[in-house]
């Protein structure tokens, strides 16, 4: 999970609220690119100033997620014309509960070409001092 500011909320995928103050979090909702007003009303994270939590694509899931994806497929439940993993995660969370782990570090996005380029540039900048030493 990553902390981000409301002005960038639509650039990220899944969001969750947080129950507790440690590194292990109880996810109370998954929402795919929620509108800012919805996020401010429903997804605010107590203890995180000016931010929300974001799931960024590292998953350790039970196999039951496939049952939830099948349910979406069987009932033709699409969002934006696509079957969404976020919707399957929300179904799984409602039935089984879901935990998240707050990770300290940086998050890189490579979902679009310009984001991928920014990611490559960030790694290149970090590697530059190491190359100069050798």
> What pTM did the predictor assign?
0.65
What's the pLDDT score for residue 84?
92
Q: What is the CA radius of gyration of the chain?
A: 17
- Residue 22 DSSP label: S
What's the pLDDT score for residue 14?
40
pLDDT (tens digit per residue) in 15-68: 344 444 446 778 888 888 888 888 888 888 777 766 777 777 678 899 999 999
Identify the burial level of 56 via C-beta atoms within 10 angstroms of its C-beta, where 0-12 means exposed, 13-18 middle and 19 or more buried.
Answer: middle
Collapsed DSSP state (helix, strand, coil) of residue 54: strand
Domain ranges of the chain: 2-103, 109-134
Q: What is the signed CA dihedral for 72, 92, 64, 35, rounded to 10 degrees?
A: 50
109 vs 19 pLDDT, higher one: 109
């Amino acid at each position: 999970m990553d902390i981000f500011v409301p002005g960038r909320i639509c650039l990220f995928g899944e969001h969750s609220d947080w129950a507790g103050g440690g590194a292990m979090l109880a996810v109370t909702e998954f929402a795919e690119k929620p509108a800012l007003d919805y996020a401010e009303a429903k997804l605010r994270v107590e203890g995180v100033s000016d931010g929300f939590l974001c799931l960024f694509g590292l998953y350790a899931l039970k196999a039951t997620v496939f049952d939830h994806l099948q349910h979406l497929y069987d009932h033709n439940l699409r969002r934006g014309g696509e079957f969404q993993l976020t919707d399957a995660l929300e179904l799984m969370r409602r039935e089984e509960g879901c935990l998240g782990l707050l990770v300290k570090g940086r998050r890189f996005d490579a979902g679009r070409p310009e984001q991928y380029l920014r990611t490559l540039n960030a790694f290149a900048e970090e590697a530059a001092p190491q190359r100069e030493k050798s």
